[in-house]
Chain A
Amino acid sequence: MYKGGKIFASLIIFAALFTIPFFYNMGKVNAGPDVALNTAAIQQLPASEQQCVESPEFMRANHMQLLNQWREEAVRNGQTVYVNSQGKEFEISLQDTCLKCHATESASKPAVLNNPVSTTAGVSNPALNESPEFCASCHDYSAVKPLCWSCHFEPKEATK
């Protein structure tokens, strides 16, 4: 074979490039994100209130569009009530509606305990924390960076 050495070296590089995922993940456990859908905050709610704003399937696929719509409604149109597909009314608020249930308990994640953003009740407020577990678990897993925190952040002075 003419220039066999170079060709084989190149083929090894080619094979290595295309098998990166096999080596990168070698020996790792295929653990998806741990989404806490049954937090204490949710369990305390009456059964009729335990359903999210829309169905879980809808939320999984369209939560970003819903949040976007909520932002338009609340910030630009001054509309603060959302009527869902079942005709039920919700207050349009990330902090007061979404995070009422979806704030995660910091006890399960010691790093959050030291975070000044966590309230005394031991509940971290995802809106004030760059990495709340509920949002971050899936968003980190699929490398999608939500833009929520570019507005909903804790002012630097407040943490002092």
Chain B
Amino acid sequence: MKVLFSFLAVILLILVATMGAFITNLHYVFGIIIPYLAFAMFVGGFIYRVVKWGRSPVPFRIPTTIGQQKSLPWIKQNKIENPTSAFGVIVRMAMEVLFFRSLFRNTKTELREGQNGPELSYGSAKWLWLGSLFFHWSFLIIIIRHLRFFLEPIPFAVQILESVDGMLQIGLPAIYLTDVFILVAVTYLFLRRIIVPQVKYISLPADFFPLFMIMSIAISGVLMRYFYKVDLVAVKQLAIGLATFQPVLPTGIGPMFFIHIFLVSILFAYFPMSKLMHMGGIFMSPTRNMISNNRMVRHINPWNHEVEVHTYEQYEDEYREKMKKAGIPVEKE
């Protein structure tokens, strides 16, 4: 049901896009106005979400660690998994952001039949890590590759990336490795959610919708490149027009382009209000981005109220005479 709901939502969006693609009068809306709106919503919404998170209090020092804490000098500290320096934290965050370190440590729990009844066993589970890695890196490379439509002249780095991506030179136009990888990976990520019962149970429409969106964007892109071709030169003119704020709408681009750009626009606009915000959120996860110096430094809650203290010295000053009379020993005469 949750799957069906997301699926129908994406189908509906594709129908809207198809309508926009085949009604020439709507091309200006679908090719120029909606992309601008989506971009503004993406950047604006992203900043709004991050600022909102930034304003929420971070009371405690709560780094999670999987390595030896800094201790006595002859005990070797794990400087990356239990960092006590800013550099350590940066390396740790980079490992997390670029290589999904914590997902790499994913384990699987199983009840197995043992000699004395069922036994609980744990094993390493790397498939999710591998699928995610392929998915995210492919997505990143695809986005960078698309800069060839938005930049003129095209930077050398973008061209290099593209030639590496198409290095197998299979078919014409050459197949991009990332196109294959992202389709395989997104299919895996989807199947995992409907096949593994525990994962299926906790999956929501908000989990399936982005998957279907990304899947349909990738498929429309592949169709546009290999089967229902569009006029690339016209596409680039439109893109450069958008980037220079002098929008132009060349004729005869081809309907597939409008379907693709509409779906991309919807994804970008939806991004800040969805789970996809983990792109910004990962940098703000307090269990990862904090230096593990819980005991080395005294951490004071930044918004603590001023507490009125009455020290023993002050107490004694106040009651010294009375204490002496009562025979209670005092520190200062």
**A interface with B by C-beta (< 8 Å):** 1-4, 7, 10-11, 14-15, 18-22, 24-26, 28, 30, 32-33, 60-62, 64-65, 68, 138, 140-145, 147
Contact = CB atoms under 8 A, between A and B. Distances in A.
Binding site secondary structure of chain A: helix
A14 B244 contact: no
B46 A14 contact: yes
A64 B172 contact: yes
Given A15-B47, A30-B248, A142 B233 contact: yes
A21 B229 contact: no
A147 B169 CA distance: 10
Interface stretch (B114-122, B154-162, B182-190, B318-326): B154-162
Interface residues of B, number: 47
Contacts of B248: 30
Interface in B55-77: 55, 57-58
A14 B39 CA distance: 13
B243 A32 contact: no
Contacts of A2: 54-55, 57-58, 302
B151 interface: yes
Given A2-B57, A7-B50, A22 B233 contact: no
17 contacts: A1-B51, A2-B58, A3-B54, A11-B50, A11-B51, A14-B47, A15-B43, A20-B147, A25-B152, A28-B152, A30-B240, A30-B244, A30-B248, A32-B250, A143-B162, A145-B159, A145-B163
Contacts of A4: 54
B302 A142 contact: no
B283 interface: yes
B151 A138 contact: no
Contacts of B57: 2
Nearest to A22: B243
A64 B239 CA distance: 23
Given A2-B58, A30-B240, A21 B150 contact: yes
Contact of A142 (B47, B51, B232, B246): B232
Contacts of A141: 152, 233, 236
A60 B240 CA distance: 20
B329 interface: no
B46 A32 contact: no
B173 interface: yes
Given A18-B42, A142-B236, A143-B158, 10 more contacts: A1-B55, A2-B57, A3-B58, A4-B54, A15-B43, A21-B151, A28-B240, A30-B246, A32-B233, A142-B232
Contacts of B242: 21
Contacts of B46: 14
Given A11-B50, A11-B51, A143 B148 contact: yes
A11 B229 contact: no
B231 interface: yes
Contacts of A65: 172
A68 B172 contact: yes
B131 interface: no
A143 B146 CA distance: 11
Contacts of B244: 22, 25-26, 28, 30
Contacts of B151: 20-21, 24-25
A35 to B, nearest CB: 8
A62 B150 CA distance: 23
Contacts of B172: 64-65, 68
Contacts of A10: 50, 283
